[in-house]
């Protein structure tokens, strides 16, 4: 009953978050990455009047040189398995130790924080190549540099890198704030395909419910609702964060970038709209399933009742003339048998008529 | 059971939005219309002290001439299949490239944005001739011009055009802000018939539920709820947008137009009120359906129970005297048969009385 | 089952609102009353140092005279079937054309608007003599005049008129703002009996549910919920409106009247409280009905199961000895029949004991 | 089934509020007490440097004398059956006529109002000796006096009176605002035992549901929910009222009393927290009841199905060999009867095994 | 059916709060600890330039000496069984009597209050060694001292004590506000493991529901929901409290500590996010359970219907030929018996085919 060909059921992975919070009561700024954190890999792209320089991987010493020679440097760190590297980077760019602690504890809520010498943004990113999981992205913006920290390889920044490499593009002429905007924009836009897929799944579930129903639809629906919860947890705080950016309360984003940030904020609000829509649709679907199911139950029970109500009295009737009393005068009449059958037919037909009048059949 | 004559069931079209978002990570301002976007058709109406000039279609060169000779020019573009035309228009009127990007990505949230030299309004419009679908309307208002971009032919602006052509009307004497107000007003008012039809559908569903019930009502109700979700998605952000206009924070709408904008805003709030009403009614209807259904189930099961409870013991009774034991003294009494039937009648009648006392029948 | 003597079931009229919106895209200020609008009837009461003057009906020319001779004039117009009269009145009192348009489109949301030379208040009024329907009341307050527009004859202003006629009362000494307050107060207070009746109905439904239950209770409950929706739609925006008045943002209400307006506002808030209470009670009642119903279903099915479980095995038992095999030794034992009956009784009794232990009976 | 020994079921009184609103459209300040209002009884306590003076009952003339001789006078009026007395008191203390109207209409929402010469507080009070009902308490605070109006005898002020009489206590040294605080505090704290009792009832209902279930639990739960609604209606607006006091916007409460008022406000918020908790628990209980009930229904139906599924085919089987056809060869085989019984046993056992495999038994 | 091996079912303790509110109407500042309050045990840690001094237990006289010799003194009081000690401490540190009253009444809402000479924070703390219960923690911060009051022994401050003892740590160099932050941080972080355990329980319940279902899952779920309610009651007001601290409105926390407090506040918000997630998941689980259950019920009833619908007509059929009429010609045909059986098989097979076509089997 559950082997309907629902289009491409997503392998819903059991949610097993790696909880890498710093231990309770630990000193603030304690860096304690998850045991399975990957060793950091650092990629750097610098640009300025002289063009674009790209180094992957780069080691820590070269970074300083690149910063000196380029207007804007983008350091992209993937994996935080090595505390020393992180600390070194922190000192090099003057990062606040609380911000650095947030980088390695990968269950942060999306937020924007101003640490004076740099702006700190945390948000969750979907990986377009493996959509089921989101990872944490931390982004530092300061004068002349953007630092990003990702949990795992695989991101949605490839188009941004392309635009950076394009000598005719606008990207090379603008500052670190514009680069940061471009990265935020890429992260936010990568949620749209996820939501569109979610929407398509809900339509498939709807077909399932209106079709054969069954428990498969419910389980699938339940899985999708959990998925929505995850997404909402990722996107909801993002709205506050981008809202902060839009209000222009942050000094590391120049006024020229504000319209672009407003655009990002609009997209986040639109994502929430879409998600809210999916939520409402999913609860409508539950109602639909419930009442479809109830209707089916009613049909089944109606059938049972019709059959029982017709045949149980008849069985009683024929039971009477199966009795072995010595004195049963009807038994000896020649028209006894046809009369008995006739009464039975009469009962059955009148029952059927009554059912029809009540619109049961 | 589902062929009740519900008044004119709307052909609920499967929601297949054309997702024409710019690709993830693309440079801002990238114009990438949907592949099935129609080629742009431009209509222009200009007016001023010398009267009304109307050109349909108009080509890009003539627009400049018209702007020069008229106080106010309304350029109405339908379809964005040709990027070059859009870009040309953008340059001609000094439109911001982010706004232009929003024009072609047709899933924008309703909003009002101030780009200095012009005001940009996005909202969704119902087409009175084909109500099932809403399309995106973008509206630019600047000194002496109004620019509208529609996805498809067919709009609700015909009465506005009539009023423009009427030499005695007020329209010709007022500025571009008043024209923009008139267009917004037409779009908002076009939602009222849609909501009234929705309301009528809900009343029809109510009749269906209170009448024969059945699954048809539920499916129909579900379709209407989806419809409401769509409408809410269109109207809800509109409230914020018109609210912004009403607060007078926009410099392209003069103070004299503010009372009119307040009127539009009131209508949007009223639309939301009506929609909220429909929503509450629809969830009341679900409750009503559920409990009507349950009541019917109860009735069916009660009948089954009554019939079974009366006849199953009787069948057992007559079964006893159908047994073939050698020694069954009752069988040989002359009053055995009538006594047996009498006991049966007694059992049945007392059962019936008991059911009546419990108010089952 | 539905003929319980529920106290005075209200004849719930099918909600058929007259939708008299101005056509989509019409010029603002277009006066287009509903086709079934009544011809206007004008009543006037003026008062001042020289006492009270009352004219019913009054024609338009006399109004100017009365305004000149009285401190405050109250013009009460019932029905808007004649556009010319309305326009004439509008010019006479300098009413804004948007306000005048709102007067004739009878589905306005309650609101307060300041048009400079006069204050404009729209709200919905219950008619104490025919409570099922609310009608729209528009009220203009300006220096020395109050203008009210009602849809239909029948209002709740009789006590106010009495107080106006009373030479010893306070009314005659105060201005148009106090008169306007008195009218608003009368409209708001007229909702209290409606809510009390609603409350009484809910208690009757509760008795019905706890008593015999049945579908009648559900339908009645559903009708009351719709009634509540209507009331909420009328009262909810009223709160905003009176809130605006209380904040003293309107120049046509003097400071001395503010405490009275605060009193009106308190009453509106109290109405919403009562309504909210009714709403919560009604959803509690639905839960109660559902679970009462389920309990009854359980009882019915339990009975069916008890009877079936006892008699179906017994019927099988006696069926065995109704078989006609040649060799059935038990049939020829003299104690076969009593033994068979004994086994039957044993089975039945042990079943009954088992049911009792499980607390089914 | 409903005579379980639930601990001390509260006699839930039918809610019959005395609606003593002033008639619709009446002049503001009209004093119209309920017909069954008790005649007023006035108790007075005055204190000052010379100690405490207590007079119960006191007549109106003596009050003026007491006010002259004492720093602070507390006049406590119980019952408003006599309008003349109220009016006299009103004039004596300069009370606003709108406030006086609120005193006698006993369904006011809790609020705080500043009438210049005095502060007016309305709230609802539980009577610790008869908790089922709340009554309205009105409290006027002015320089040197506190006036309280209660509907009925019986209040929660006894401890305050004790503290007033205690010459060593702080009470006698402080002003009327501190006395008013003490009274408010007593009223608010008296709600805590009510909520604790409510909480205990909910736990008893939980035991009932998890135990034998039954309709008694649902009815009880429903009664408690109504109780909660009443409490919420009493406490919710109180929060706004005490909030107003805490913000220090009232000139009749000195700064020294503010921390105490903040304490009262905290308690009100805590009451709402507890109430909200009870509400959530009660809706959890409904879910629990529903699913417990469903589980029981499932069990019952499973039993029915098992019994029917086993015995109905067997009954058919034995029915076959009860037929009277002339030619039925099996009947004449010596092993026919045991074979038939054997097949029956086989069918039954395999059914049972199948049920076990499906985990039904 | 309920003995599934659900992983480590938590012993859900019946919630029996000790209600130790001061009696209704008591004088403010009355200290009345619960009868079962433990005798106070005082531990003190002082630190300053000369290092750390630790005294456990300490008596009241020594505290003054320690305060004189140390920069910051942390007095940790466990149990409030002795009023005299509390009063003495209150005088020594100049604590407000209302704050002191809050300390002993252990059902306070989390809050932050500024009493001029000291800051007062109340919150609830989980004990990591016995997680089921939360206890109230009161914290006073003033110049050079931190005072904490716990209900019971056992807290989550051990890591903080370790850091205090560490001469190389930052702790010793900072003021009382930093110490207070460290304590708050420890309390807030101790909630994370509790929520993670809750989350794990919900996943176990999900497995149970998708597996064998049964009532055990529902009861467990209900217990967890109550647990969540408790947690929410503890954490929700905490958000307001830490929000107050973050806004920097309190003069006892220096600007340098603000980023740390912001970190604490972020964690509280994150806790609420997680809790909200759990709540949504739990209500999804209820839906899932309901529909899984319904599906099972449907399966059972379908089986009953199939069996009954096939065999009840057959039983009637064979009942006919069990009748004893003298004249039943079919009985004497040699092919009567096989024909009768044939008809039976035909009926059964066609029924089965019909069921298959309806997809019931």
In the complex, which subunits touch B with 3 or more CB pairs below 8 angstroms? Answer: A, C
Is A225's CB within 8 Å of E284's CB?
yes
Joined together, the tokens standing for residue E224 give: 């967890």
Q: How many CB pairs under 8 A join B and C?
A: 157
Is B295's CB within 8 Å of C23's CB?
no
Neighboring chain E residues of D212 at a CB cutoff of 8 Å: none
**Residue with tokens 């689980």, as numbered in its chain:** E285
CB A290 within 8 A of CB E291: yes
State which H helix or E strand residue B113 sits in: strand B111-114
- The alpha carbon of residue B110 is apart from the nearest alpha carbon of chain C, in Å, by 20
Comparing A55-59, C219-223, D29-33, D90-94, the range with the smallest average pLDDT is D29-33
Q: What percent of chain C has pLDDT over 90?
A: 36
Name every residue whose Cβ is closer than 8 Å to that of residue E337 and which is 6 or more positions away in sequence.
Answer: D323, D325, D327, D328
Name every residue whose Cβ is closer than 8 Å to that of residue A160 and which is 6 or more positions away in sequence.
Answer: A171, A179, A182, A183, A186, B25
What is the average pLDDT across C279-302? Answer: 89
Joined together, the tokens standing for residue B268 give: 């949007």
> Which three-class secondary structure state does DSSP give residue D119?
strand
Is D212's CB within 8 Å of C287's CB?
no
Neighboring chain B residues of C18 at a CB cutoff of 8 Å: none
Comparing A184-193, C52-61, D323-332, the range with the smallest average pLDDT is C52-61
pLDDT score of B264 = 92
Is D318's CB within 8 Å of C322's CB?
yes
What is the average pLDDT across C63-72? Answer: 88
Neighboring chain D residues of C277 at a CB cutoff of 8 Å: 229, 233
Q: What percent of chain D has pLDDT over 70?
A: 91
> Which of C170, C266, C281 is opposite residue D229, by nearest beta carbon?
C281
Cα–Cα separations (whole angstroms), residue C93 to C32, C150, C183: 20, 17, 19
> Which of A26, A286, A337 is opposite residue E287, by nearest beta carbon?
A286
CB A120 within 8 A of CB A140: yes
Q: Is the predicted pLDDT of residue D11 greater than 60, yes or no?
A: no
CB C7 within 8 A of CB C200: yes
Name every residue whose Cβ is closer than 8 Å to that of residue E354 and which is 6 or more positions away in sequence.
Answer: none
* B-chain residue closest to C28, CA distance: B260
CA distance C137 to C183: 10
pLDDT score of E77 = 92
* E-chain residue closest to A290, CA distance: E291
Neighboring chain C residues of B315 at a CB cutoff of 8 Å: 311, 315
Q: Is the predicted pLDDT of residue E19 greater than 90, yes or no?
A: no
Is E291's CB within 8 Å of A293's CB?
yes
Q: Is the predicted pLDDT of residue A10 greater than 70, yes or no?
A: no
CB B20 within 8 A of CB B34: yes
**Closest among D290, B234, D109, A315 to E290, alpha carbons compared:** D290
- The alpha carbon of residue D12 is apart from the nearest alpha carbon of chain E, in Å, by 24
> Which of C284, C295, C319 is opposite residue D222, by nearest beta carbon?
C284
Neighboring chain A residues of B110 at a CB cutoff of 8 Å: none
> Which of C218, C321, C336 is opposite residue B292, by nearest beta carbon?
C218
> Which three-class secondary structure state does DSSP give residue A288?
helix
Q: How many CB pairs under 8 A join A and E?
A: 155
Q: Is the predicted pLDDT of residue D39 greater than 90, yes or no?
A: no
What's chain A's average pLDDT? 85
What's chain C's average pLDDT? 85
Is A297's CB within 8 Å of E301's CB?
yes
> Which of E203, E270, E319 is opposite residue A319, by nearest beta carbon?
E319
Is D128's CB within 8 Å of E24's CB?
yes
pLDDT score of B250 = 78
> Which three-class secondary structure state does DSSP give residue A344?
helix
Dump pLDDT digits (tens) for A309-330: 999 999 999 999 999 999 899 8
Q: Is the predicted pLDDT of residue A21 greater than 80, yes or no?
A: no
CB C79 within 8 A of CB C38: yes
CB A98 within 8 A of CB A29: yes
Is A284's CB within 8 Å of B27's CB?
no
Give the helix ranges, DSSP H, for A211-257. 215-246
pLDDT band at B132 (very low <50, low <70, confident <90, very high): low
> Which of C128, C288, C324 is opposite residue D321, by nearest beta carbon?
C324
B212 alpha-carbon distance from chain centroid: 26
pLDDT score of A4 = 40
Name the residue with higher pLDDT: A338 or C107. A338
Name every residue whose Cβ is closer than 8 Å to that of residue D245 and which is 6 or more positions away in sequence.
Answer: D112, D253, D261, D264, D265
Q: Is the predicted pLDDT of residue C8 greater than 70, yes or no?
A: no
Q: Before C57, cis peptide (omega within 30)?
A: yes
Task: Please state the ipTM of this predicted complex.
Answer: 0.77
**Residue with tokens 């609380």, as numbered in its chain:** A98
> Which of C193, C210, C315 is opposite residue D219, by nearest beta carbon?
C210
User: Mutating which of A32, A96, A122, A222 best tests the E interface, going by the most E Cβ atoms within 10 A?
Assistant: A222
pLDDT score of D317 = 93
pLDDT band at D18 (very low <50, low <70, confident <90, very high): very low
* DSSP codes joined into one string, B177-243: HHHHHHHHHHHHHTHHHHHHHHHHHHHHHHHHHHTT--HHHHHHHHHHHHHHHHHHHHHHHHHHHHH
**Closest among D1, D65, D7, D42 to D200, alpha carbons compared:** D7
Dump pLDDT digits (tens) for D277-314: 999 999 999 888 988 888 888 889 999 999 999 999 99
Neighboring chain C residues of D219 at a CB cutoff of 8 Å: 210, 288
**pTM, rounded to two decimals:** 0.83
Is E301's CB within 8 Å of D302's CB?
no
> Which of B28, B115, B229 is opposite residue A281, by nearest beta carbon?
B229
pLDDT score of D216 = 84
Name the residue with higher pLDDT: E70 or D32. E70
Q: How many CB pairs under 8 A join A and B?
A: 156
The alpha carbon dihedral of B328, B334, B340, B343 has a sign of negative
Neighbours of D84 (CB within 10 A): 10
Q: Is the predicted pLDDT of residue B19 greater than 60, yes or no?
A: no
Is A284's CB within 8 Å of B222's CB?
yes
Q: In what order do the strands lie in the sheet with D111-114?
A: D51-55, D41-48, D72-78, D145-150, D134-142, D119-126, D111-114
Neighboring chain B residues of C285 at a CB cutoff of 8 Å: none
* D-chain residue closest to E229, CA distance: D277
CA distance D306 to A182: 66
Neighboring chain A residues of E189 at a CB cutoff of 8 Å: 21-22, 24-25
Dump pLDDT digits (tens) for D110-168: 989 888 889 999 999 987 776 567 889 999 999 999 999 998 888 889 889 988 888 87
Is E319's CB within 8 Å of A315's CB?
yes
User: Mutating which of D210, D281, D284 best tests the E interface, going by the most E Cβ atoms within 10 A?
Assistant: D284
Neighboring chain E residues of A290 at a CB cutoff of 8 Å: 290-291, 294
Is C331's CB within 8 Å of B319's CB?
no
Neighboring chain D residues of E331 at a CB cutoff of 8 Å: 324-326
CA distance B342 to B317: 11
Q: Is the predicted pLDDT of residue A149 greater than 90, yes or no?
A: yes
**Closest among D111, D22, D116, D102 to C256, alpha carbons compared:** D116
Q: Is the predicted pLDDT of residue C2 greater than 60, yes or no?
A: no
CA distance C230 to B270: 14
SS (H, E, C) E139-207: EEEECCEEEEEECCCCCCCHHHHHHHHCCCCCHHHCCHHHHHHHHHHHHHHCHHHHHHHHHHHHHHHHH
SS (H, E, C) A114-139: ECCCCEEEEEEEECCCCCCCEEEEEE
Is C308's CB within 8 Å of D312's CB?
no
Cα–Cα separations (whole angstroms), residue E39 to B86, E80, E153, E232: 81, 6, 11, 30
User: Mutating which of A267, A275, A291 best tests the B interface, going by the most B Cβ atoms within 10 A?
Assistant: A291
Max Cα distance, chain A (Å)? 121
Neighboring chain D residues of C297 at a CB cutoff of 8 Å: 297
């Amino acid at each position: 009953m559950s082997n309907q060909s629902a289009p491409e059921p997503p392998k819903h992975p059991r949610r097993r978050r790696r909880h890498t919070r710093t231990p309770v009561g630990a000193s603030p700024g304690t860096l304690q990455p998850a045991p399975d954190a990957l060793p950091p890999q650092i990629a750097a792209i610098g640009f300025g009047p002289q063009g674009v320089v790209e180094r992957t991987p780069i080691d820590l010493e070269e970074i300083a040189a690149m910063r000196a020679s380029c207007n804007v440097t983008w350091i992209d760190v993937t994996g935080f398995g090595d505390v020393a590297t992180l600390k070194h980077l922190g000192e090099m760019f003057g990062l606040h130790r609380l911000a650095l602690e947030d980088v390695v504890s990968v269950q942060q809520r999306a937020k924007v924080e101003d640490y004076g010498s740099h702006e700190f943004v945390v948000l969750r990113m979907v990986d377009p190549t493996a959509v089921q999981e989101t990872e944490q992205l931390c982004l530092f913006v300061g004068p002349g540099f953007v630092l990003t920290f990702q949990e795992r390889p695989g991101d949605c920044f490839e188009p941004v890198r392309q635009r950076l490499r394009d000598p005719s593009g606008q990207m090379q002429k603008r500052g670190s704030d514009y680069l940061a905007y471009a990265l935020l924009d890429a992260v936010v836009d990568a949620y749209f395909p996820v939501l569109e897929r979610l929407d398509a799944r809900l339509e498939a579930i709807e077909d399932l419910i209106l079709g054969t129903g069954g428990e498969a639809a419910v389980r699938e629906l339940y899985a999708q609702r959990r998925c929505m919860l995850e997404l909402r947890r990722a996107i909801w705080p993002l709205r506050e964060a981008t809202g902060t950016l839009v209000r222009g309360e942050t000094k590391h984003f120049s006024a020229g970038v504000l319209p672009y940030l407003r655009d990002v904020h609009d997209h986040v609000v639109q994502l929430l709209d879409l998600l809210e829509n999916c939520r409402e649709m999913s609860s409508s679907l539950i109602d639909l399933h419930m009442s479809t199911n109830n209707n089916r139950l009613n049909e089944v029970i109606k059938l049972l009742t019709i059959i029982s109500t017709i045949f149980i009295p008849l069985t009683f009737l024929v039971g009477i003339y199966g009795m072995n009393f010595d004195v049963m005068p009807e038994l000896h009449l020649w028209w006894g048998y046809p009369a008995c059958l006739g009464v039975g037919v009469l009962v059955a037909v009148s029952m059927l008529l009554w059912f029809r009048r009540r619109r049961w059949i």
